[in-house]
Amino acid sequence: MADMFQFDLVSPERKLASGQARAVQIPGADGDLTAMPDHAPTITTLRPGVLVVEGASGEERFVVTGGFAEISPEATTVLAERAYPAAGEEARAALQAILEDVRAKANAASGADKDAFDKTADDLAKAIEGL
């Protein structure tokens, strides 16, 4: 079994990371998962959260607001709606603005739509706490 695989994180604005990784913790829409070398092929949608990359030079953390992850035995690619390095204030400010927008939508919604907005707001609040 290989001990590293290719990892790429891109958003519409820029490529945030590209290199070798040992593991990538992904906030999947159906639950958190960890991609590792020789992982079964998988495609998942992302929920707002913190993505953690364990590489040769240590751990890197990024905030993602949604998107998709494609996992294969040799590589993992994350296509994020929006992504920010978790260490910067940019991530916290962006997530706070998105959280306020989602809470406003939740207050105006009802039924299943309200439940979905409330879940997204909870995920965003946890991501902000994790920074």
- Over the stretch 2-53, which tens digit does the pLDDT of each residue have? 699 999 999 998 999 999 999 999 999 999 999 999 999 999 999 988 899 9
CATH of the domain at 36: 2.60.15.10
Q: Do both 11 and 74 map to the same domain?
A: yes
Q: Do both 74 and 96 map to the same domain?
A: no
Average pLDDT estimate for 83-104: 86
Q: Show the domain range for 100.
A: 89-129
Separation in Å, CA 89 to CA 18, 60, 86, 92, 128: 22, 15, 8, 5, 11
Q: Is the pLDDT of residue 120 over 90?
A: no
What is the value of pTM for the model shown?
0.84
Contact indicator for 68, 39 with CB cutoff of 8 Å: no
Q: Is the pLDDT of residue 87 over 70?
A: yes
Which among 9, 92, 91, 75 is positioned nearest to 39, based on CA atoms?
75
Q: Do both 80 and 104 map to the same domain?
A: no
Element at 44 (helix H, strand E): strand 42-46
CA distance 80 to 103: 21
Q: Do both 65 and 107 map to the same domain?
A: no
Give the helix ranges, DSSP H, for 1-131: 89-108, 111-129
The total number of structural domains in the chain stands at 2
Q: Is the pLDDT of residue 117 over 60?
A: yes
Q: Residue 37 has which token pair?
A: 């070398």
Token pair 């607001």 is found at 65
Q: Do both 47 and 21 map to the same domain?
A: yes
Separation in Å, CA 129 to CA 9, 46, 86, 95: 22, 18, 11, 11
